[in-house]
């Protein structure tokens, strides 16, 4: 691969690693018993789509230290996408989301594959949980078997513990904050731990650790990665309610129906007067068979200009991240690639 950043070519490389590795493991699972076929299909489906941003950040964390392109490193970087796939399956299960990438989520798809009966839904949810668990296990397996020297892998191993701990902490905080009165600081903390760290900061740090990066570069990657990761999730918050479902591949009412602690909702709450807060309380988390609630929430958010506040927060975080990046004086190809990735993470339609 040349020093010029080509996202499409990189995605092809990561896709080839993921699909080959996961297909082999899913085949081994299905070979145990024919009943496991639908479960194996969902393991493969979990890695069928994706921008491969996490793998890209890991790759450029490595290249920024001065290391050359490496197929073994691409395999290690691809493991970041299995972490993401596991998190997505679990997150969709927790949120009871029906769609992802325009297709039924794992627990919905499995409901149609299990034996009909009064416990079909519970059975499908249990199977989806185990799909997510297996994907996380496969992430560690792919990383360890990437082909990088054992000494390199040992440098990054402690970061895997931090990645899992922070991701779980963020998911737990979101669950515990769901349904509470919205609070922007609390929402940003959820974002930082649930998404920002494992999407940008930790893949960068893992790539850098594999390459033997020094303290200054690792510190700079955290200064770049955390605000950019937050910008990534803030964009997701906006797309979750105001995006085009044809592009996002997700339902647009999940956050309202689930009364989730998004920063968009928190800023709406902060800007709302007493009557508007009463309106929000009545709309959030309620059954809404006709889909009118999300439309009313969107109208209120727009009237209060809450989406503009989130856009400003995204812009400020991207500028902060890029300021740190350009102060690092990393090799020019890495700086160019990480600048491009920052734009891709924060300015997107899906």
Q: Which domains does the chain have, with CATH numbers?
A: 7-346 (1.10.600.10)
Terminal Cα-to-Cα distance of the chain (whole angstroms): 27
- Give the pLDDT confidence score for residue 71 in this predicted structure: 97
Other CB atoms within 10 Å distance of the CB of residue 210: 29
Residue with the two structure tokens 């798809």: 109
Euclidean distance between CA atoms 225 and 58, whole angstroms: 11
C-alpha to C-alpha distances, 145 to 56, 78, 150, 257, nearest whole angstrom: 19, 12, 10, 42
Q: Which two tokens stand for residue 294?
A: 């999300």
- Give the pLDDT confidence score for residue 53 in this predicted structure: 97
- Give the pLDDT confidence score for residue 109 in this predicted structure: 95
Distance of CA 38 to the CA centre of its chain: 24
Other CB atoms within 10 Å distance of the CB of residue 75: 21
- Give the pLDDT confidence score for residue 42 in this predicted structure: 98
- Give the pLDDT confidence score for residue 290 in this predicted structure: 57
- Give the pLDDT confidence score for residue 246 in this predicted structure: 84
| Residue spans of beta strands (DSSP E) within 192-350 | none
User: Smallest Cα–Cα separation from 28: which of 153, 141, 106?
Assistant: 141
- Those residues of the chain that have pLDDT short of 70 are 1-2, 287-291
Question: Which tens digit of pLDDT belongs to each residue from 281-328?
Answer: 888 877 665 567 888 999 999 999 999 999 999 999 999 999 999 999
Instruction: Output helix, strand, coil percentages for the chain, rounded to the nearest 5.
Output: 75, 0, 20
Helix (H, G, I), strand (E, B) or coil at 99: strand
Angle between helices 150-177 and 71-95 (to 10 degrees): 20
């Amino acid at each position: 691969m040349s020093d010029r950043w080509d996202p499409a070519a990189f995605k092809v490389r990561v896709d080839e690693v993921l699909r080959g590795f996961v297909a082999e493991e899913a085949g081994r699972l299905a070979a145990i018993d024919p009943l496991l076929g639908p479960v194996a299909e969902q393991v493969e489906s979990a890695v069928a789509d994706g921008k491969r941003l996490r793998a890209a950040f890991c790759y450029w964390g490595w290249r920024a230290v001065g290391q050359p392109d490496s197929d073994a490193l691409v395999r290690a970087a691809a493991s970041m996408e299995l972490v993401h796939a596991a998190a997505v399956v679990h997150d969709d299960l927790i949120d009871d989301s029906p769609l992802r990438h325009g297709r039924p989520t794992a627990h919905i798809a499995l409901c149609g594959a299990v034996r009909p009966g009064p416990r079909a839904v519970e059975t499908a949810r249990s199977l989806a949980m185990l799909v997510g668990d297996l994907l996380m296990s496969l992430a560690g397996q792919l990383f360890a078997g990437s082909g990088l020297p054992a000494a390199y892998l040992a440098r990054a191993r402690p970061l895997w513990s931090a990645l899992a701990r922070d991701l779980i902490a963020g998911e737990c905080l979101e669950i515990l904050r769901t349904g509470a009165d919205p609070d922007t600081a609390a929402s940003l903390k959820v974002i930082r731990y649930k998404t920002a760290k494992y999407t940008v900061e930790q893949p960068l740090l893992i790539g850098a650790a594999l390459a033997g990066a020094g303290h200054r570069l690792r510190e700079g990657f955290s200064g770049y990665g955390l605000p950019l990761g937050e910008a990534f999730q803030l964009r997701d918050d906006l797309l979750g309610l105001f995006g085009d479902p044809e592009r996002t591949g997700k339902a647009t009412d999940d956050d309202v129906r689930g009364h989730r602690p998004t920063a968009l909702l928190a800023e709406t709450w902060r800007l709302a007067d007493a009557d508007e807060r009463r309106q929000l309380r009545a709309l959030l988390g309620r059954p809404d068979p006709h889909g009118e609630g999300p439309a009313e929430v969107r109208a209120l958010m727009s009237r209060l200009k809450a989406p503009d506040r989130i856009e400003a927060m995204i812009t400020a975080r991207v500028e902060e991240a890029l300021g740190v990046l350009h102060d690092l004086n990393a090799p020019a190809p890495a700086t160019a690639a990480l600048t491009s990735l920052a734009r891709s993470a924060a300015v997107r339609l899906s």
